[in-house]
Amino acid sequence: MIVVKRLADMGERTAIQRITKLLTRGKGAQEIGDDCAILAFDDNYLLVTTDMITRSTHIPSKMTARQIGWFLVAINLSDIAAKGGTPLGLVLSYGLPKETPEDFLVELVKGADSCAVQYDTTILGGDTKEAQDLTLCGTALGIVPQKEFMPRRGATPGDVVAVTGSLGKAGAGYRALQQNIQDEKIQKGLLLALPRIKEGRILARSQCVTSCMDLSDGLSSSLYQLQELNKVGFEISSNALPIAPELLILQQKDPTLDKQALLLHFGGDYELLLTLPPENFRSVQHALEQSGSSLTTIGTVTTSNDVLLLEKGKKRILENKGYEHFKPWMFG
Amino acid sequence: MIVVKRLADMGERTAIQRITKLLTRGKGAQEIGDDCAILAFDDNYLLVTTDMITRSTHIPSKMTARQIGWFLVAINLSDIAAKGGTPLGLVLSYGLPKETPEDFLVELVKGADSCAVQYDTTILGGDTKEAQDLTLCGTALGIVPQKEFMPRRGATPGDVVAVTGSLGKAGAGYRALQQNIQDEKIQKGLLLALPRIKEGRILARSQCVTSCMDLSDGLSSSLYQLQELNKVGFEISSNALPIAPELLILQQKDPTLDKQALLLHFGGDYELLLTLPPENFRSVQHALEQSGSSLTTIGTVTTSNDVLLLEKGKKRILENKGYEHFKPWMFG
């Protein structure tokens, strides 16, 4: 019997690792597997990131065309934010079914444009093509001084682990939509992604962040990605996780809610996850607070290679079950 | 009755015009509607272009996975070539059906990588996502000194119209595949796109090209795009069109072939179409010939606003019927 390995068996990250090994690394090429690809330009890095979403696999069914357009820009800007970059602009490819109404396209473009404007950047151009399923691909460019670039690789035992903002907004929004709970503010947690460009810049300027990535894949998945790349471990304190107010409000309306699962595993929160030396934490936190944001310590980097969760006085291995493409999402 | 305009009624270019009007043009934003978006960097322009292709609408069914990967990179590099740029790298997004065999992905990546290597550039990174239909999106970056940039807008009455290489290769390849004519060299005209990076650089260095674009949409469609943008006319001499040897060979095997239609309207030839002052033609042609390429005058830029074809001593309006997405392709 010939066993043909399908992508459904591999999962997205194994596929990416496979791809990476096949590539010829030419001049100026840097390590693949970060949120952005980088090209050195004088004292700066040009950041490039691309993200594809399709109606059937990545776009929540309740999203309006305008929200989808915003989302496409926001998820790409989030990768620029995670590297400390300032956005330079985006190109967007719209793959649209033939029967798409013109109004849908207009709303899509307005949504994309308004997100770009909100983050002081611009849609530079793009492509419009016919496709069977609505398929959107965005590429964002950004720039960051080389000495301020925040890589994924660099977490060091003894560093603190921190997150910007709060966790569980996207999960609460997803759950509210799924349970038909009419609360626009909660739903927006999923429908209106807010990339942390300003926060990324403040963190980058501090020049003490040892590793950083966005939380789009969920907390547990992101920690495991950093763990593998950095050959370190993490000890995360369950009590320390900054819970989004939306999730607390939702829990009152929906007592069967598994809050912990949403906090630990649900993707779609566009906060930043980072590590930095403990002695730098206070000053960086202060700088973020001064600008109306927040930074919370959630744990420490260890030498153990395990990702542990400290909960009710006990330590257990944190499961790695965030969203991964080609494999079923935990919430179906 | 409410008439909802669908994209199938608009066509791709009307959709792009509609999109362009909706966008907020921020700092550093240039005109949209060129082969590449541009960002000024010191004395250079950073070029950015993106192209999406899907299995059901843009990928010839006979293409192997390796050829598809090559094609994805080649069509993006062609847009860099048309602006006179040197490629800096690409990011690629692979939208893949769940059941895609691993081997298909491996071949796809090898094809993309080999095209990048052939043109002395690199796949910098990308994204892999689940999609219903095979959907690929590439973004290429390039760089060109500002004074060498070849825009689409700039054609001036009196300029000569010229093309690199020869025309009809892709059409011949398409026809050979359609008619099941087993001739690998002819089929390659469609299956192996060769972006004109070297030619683009030579043209750009001459600093006398007044407008340039690639011929991916076919000759008639490209001329009409330049005509509209430049508010000029064209007079093209049918006799002057440089016919690809593959098309002549095919005609012998397939006497019912409409050679003229393939030359004038078929997309997929990745040659460059350009205008330049007549006094500069010889020296630019010479420079291209020195490097093993060619440049042929096919007509002149006029003040008339018409696109005319001079054939057998008569002038007639050249029909505009190249490939346009959302609208049926002339060859079904």
Q: What pLDDT, in 10s, does the model give residues A189-247?
A: 999 999 999 999 999 999 999 999 999 999 999 999 999 999 999 999 999 999 999 99
Q: What is the pTM of this model?
A: 0.90
- Please name the amino acid found at residue B153: R
Give the pLDDT band of residue B191 (cuts 50, 70, 90).
Answer: very high
Chain A CA closest to residue B36? A125
What value of ipTM does the predicted structure carry?
0.87
Identify the burial level of B249 via C-beta atoms within 10 angstroms of its C-beta, where 0-12 means exposed, 13-18 middle and 19 or more buried.
middle
CB A81 within 8 A of CB A200: yes
CB B235 within 8 A of CB B315: yes
Q: Is the pLDDT of residue A332 over 60?
A: no
Strand B307-311 versus strand B233-237 pairing type: parallel
Taking CB atoms and an 8 Å limit, are A139 and B36 in contact across chains?
no
Tokens (6 digits) for B84: 């006179």
Taking CB atoms and an 8 Å limit, are B5 and A129 in contact across chains?
no
Taking CB atoms and an 8 Å limit, are A54 and B29 in contact across chains?
no
Whether chain B has a CB inside 8 Å of the CB on A21: the answer is: no
Instruction: List the 47-106 stretch of A: residues with Cβ below 8 A of B.
Output: 48-54, 56-58, 88-89, 91-103, 105-106
In 3D space, the residue among A213, A57, A70, A37 whose CA is nearest the CA of residue A138 turns out to be A70
Chain A CA closest to residue B3? A101
For residue A297, the Cα-to-chain-centroid distance in whole angstroms is: 18
Q: How many CA atoms lie within 13 A of B231 on its CB side?
A: 0
- Closest partner residue to B16 (CB to CB) among A19, A100, A128 is A128
CB atoms within 10 A of CB B40: 11
**Greatest distance between any 2 Cα atoms in chain B:** 64
Instruction: List the 288-327 stretch of A: residues with Cβ below 8 A of B.
Output: 325-326
- Closest partner residue to A110 (CB to CB) among B22, B27, B39 is B22
In 3D space, the residue among B303, B299, B143, B167 whose CA is nearest the CA of residue B243 turns out to be B167
User: What is the average pLDDT across B149-159?
Assistant: 97
Identify the burial level of A272 via C-beta atoms within 10 angstroms of its C-beta, where 0-12 means exposed, 13-18 middle and 19 or more buried.
buried
Tokens (6 digits) for B132: 């219903």
Question: Would you state the pLDDT for residue B330?
Answer: 31
Task: Name every chain B residue with its beta carbon within 8 A of the beta carbon of A106.
Answer: 18, 22
Taking CB atoms and an 8 Å limit, are B135 and A89 in contact across chains?
no
Tokens (6 digits) for A314: 């006990």
Domains of chain B, each with CATH number or no CATH: 33-146 (3.30.1330.10), 150-317 (3.90.650.10)
Identify the burial level of A279 via C-beta atoms within 10 angstroms of its C-beta, where 0-12 means exposed, 13-18 middle and 19 or more buried.
exposed
CB A80 within 8 A of CB A142: yes
Mean pLDDT taken over chain B: 90
Whether chain B has a CB inside 8 Å of the CB on A32: the answer is: yes
Question: Between chain A and chain B, how many beta carbons pairs sit less than 8 Å apart?
Answer: 273
Question: Would you state the pLDDT for residue A328?
Answer: 36
| Closest CA of chain A from B32, distance in Å | 6
pLDDT in tens, B213-232: 999 999 999 999 999 999 99
Q: Is the pLDDT of residue B36 over 60?
A: yes
Question: Would you state the pLDDT for residue B132?
Answer: 87
For residue A28, the Cα-to-chain-centroid distance in whole angstroms is: 26
- Please name the amino acid found at residue B194: L
Question: How far apart (Å, rounded) are the C-alpha atoms in residues B61 and B57?
Answer: 10
In 3D space, the residue among A80, A249, A58 whose CA is nearest the CA of residue A172 turns out to be A249
Question: Would you state the pLDDT for residue B265?
Answer: 92
Give one word for A151, left, alpha or beta, with left for phi > 0 and alpha for psi -120 to 50. Answer: beta
Taking CB atoms and an 8 Å limit, are A91 and B37 in contact across chains?
yes
Identify the burial level of A182 via C-beta atoms within 10 angstroms of its C-beta, where 0-12 means exposed, 13-18 middle and 19 or more buried.
exposed
Q: Which helix (H) or strand (E) holds B61?
A: none
Tokens (6 digits) for B197: 């990076």
Taking CB atoms and an 8 Å limit, are A50 and B127 in contact across chains?
yes
